[in-house]
Amino acid sequence: MKGLHIHGVSHAYGNNKVLNNVSLTIPTGELVCLLGPSGCGKSTLLRLAAGLETLQCGTIVIDDQTVATKESSLAPEHRHIGLMFQDYALFPHLDIVANVCFGLIGMARDKARARALEMLDQVGMADYAKVYPHTLSGGQQQRIALARALAPEPKLLLLDEPFSGLDTNMRQMIREDTLNVLKQNGVATLMVTHDPEEAMFMADRIKILGRHGRVRQSGSPHDIYYKPNDEFVAGLFGLMNRLGGVVRDGAVETPLGRVGAGGIADGTAVQVLIRPEGIVLSGGNTGSNPGIPVSVSSTHLLGHSSIVSVSPDGNSGDEYFARVHREFSPELEDTIFASIEASDTFVFPLKEDTASAAPIGMAAE
């Protein structure tokens, strides 16, 4: 099958084990995001695929050709890969068209130039062929780096946090444009990010790496978000309400109401995770079962949503975070009720490594 196959790759720097038996397949035309906290080995896996790091264990195959095993390694320049890192690494002494031509070694000059101009056109930078990199914004440099990586028609594109240097608005625009260009070029792409929203936006499939490079889950953005394997994956998407409990009669009783235990056996100690958007606040007149009466202790407007801190009436020690669309004005309501949305609520058996499941996605807010 065309594309990238990584099979059983483990890696250590001295005693520091950074990847643990990672396997991954990306068919041509698909984009897979590697998502995980800082230091979990994302860049290491990318560097191994590129041939910039020596493989210690496993195999790497690109378009049916084995490019690396423990015993043998094809040089990076023969792997037909396009690389793009966070700093773009454009050559300051070359104009834009020469930068894009750089990877087209062996092609006749006029042909290489025509190909470079074609790529510049695709990324919307055809008018900038003769300028030098220092005169361009970060977003424009990113487009040039993408054109340069794609010009030689690589079999595999490796992107390491390619948008992290851009501001929020520019990032959103460039992500969309990049996705269009990648789909147009039909290349297998492995992209590293630690921004869960970015992974959701870009990826056909997401692979989550946890501490020491252990794969925690692989799946579509939908599955990762709505069917997380464990609390580590569920916790990637930012602020979470975490409650303890025990399963009784197939459900867990929480201060905000009963939550189905999803088949976990009665008597099991569990953690219940509720996303802030899974706690629905209402004025009480909206339905027959509005939920539990709560008091609001604070609200913070984040822009497109607000985070509202609530406690069940008569239990001010228990505090939960609810996300409300736009601004929330508790003074307009006599009584506020909270109810739980099942699709944003997850129940997992309590495990020993619970303490390591820290959310990393708050920055995306």
| Span from 42-50, 69-77, 129-137, 168-176 in contact with ligand ATP (CB under 6 A) | 42-50
Which residues make beta-bridge pairs with 86? none
Least distance between ligand ATP and beta carbon 53 (Å): 7
Contact 178, 147 (CB under 8 A): no
Contact residue for ligand ATP among 22, 33, 35, 41 (CB under 6 A): 41
- Applying CB under 6 A, the site for ligand ATP has a residue count of 12
38 binds ligand ATP (CB under 6 A): yes
Which partner from the list ligand ATP, Mg ion, none does 156 bind, CB cut-off 5 to 8 Å by kind? Answer: none
40 binds ligand ATP (CB under 6 A): yes
216 binds ligand ATP (CB under 6 A): no
| Span from 41-49, 54-62, 144-152, 264-272 in contact with ligand ATP (CB under 6 A) | 41-49
Contact residue for ligand ATP among 8, 16, 300, 343 (CB under 6 A): 16
Under rule CB under 6 A, which residues in 181-200 are in contact with ligand ATP?
Answer: 194
Least distance between ligand ATP and beta carbon 120 (Å): 29
Buried-state track 334-360, b at ≥16 Cβ within 10 A, e below 16? eebbbbbeeebbbbbeeeeeeeebebb
20 binds ligand ATP (CB under 6 A): no
Place of tokens 């906290």: 37
Least distance between ligand ATP and beta carbon 352 (Å): 23
Bin 58: left if φ > 0, else alpha if -120 < ψ < 50, else beta.
Answer: left
Contact 95, 131 (CB under 8 A): yes
Contact residue for ligand ATP among 29, 39, 165, 262 (CB under 6 A): 39
Which partner from the list Mg ion, ligand ATP, none does 44 bind, CB cut-off 5 to 8 Å by kind? Answer: ligand ATP
Closer Cβ to ligand ATP, 57 or 94, answer by number: 57
- Tell how strand 205-209 and strand 31-35 pair up: parallel
Amino acid at residue number 282: S
Which partner from the list Mg ion, ligand ATP, none does 169 bind, CB cut-off 5 to 8 Å by kind? Answer: none
Q: What angle do CA 37, 40, 43 make, to 5 degrees?
A: 100
Which partner from the list Mg ion, ligand ATP, none does 235 bind, CB cut-off 5 to 8 Å by kind? Answer: none
Closer Cβ to ligand ATP, 43 or 142, answer by number: 43
- With 0-12 / 13-18 / 19 or more C-beta atoms within 10 angstroms meaning exposed / middle / buried, residue 84 is buried
Least distance between ligand ATP and beta carbon 29 (Å): 25
Cα of first residue to Cα of last residue in the chain, in angstroms, is 39
Contact residue for ligand ATP among 1, 13, 64, 363 (CB under 6 A): 13
254 binds ligand ATP (CB under 6 A): no
Least distance between ligand ATP and beta carbon 18 (Å): 4
Contact 274, 345 (CB under 8 A): yes
Which residues make beta-bridge pairs with 144? none
**Nearest alpha-carbon partner for 83 in 65, 102, 70:** 102
Q: Which two tokens stand for residue 167?
A: 């501001």
Q: Which residues of this chain interact with Mg ion, rule CB under 5 A?
A: 43
| Span from 11-19, 25-33, 217-225, 332-340 in contact with ligand ATP (CB under 6 A) | 11-19
In three-state secondary structure terms, 279 is: strand
Least distance between Mg ion and beta carbon 86 (Å): 8
Place of tokens 């794969």: 215
CA–CA dist 54, 38 (Å, integer): 21
Least distance between ligand ATP and beta carbon 160 (Å): 7
Which positions lie near ligand ATP, rule CB under 6 A?
Answer: 13, 16, 18, 36, 38-44, 194
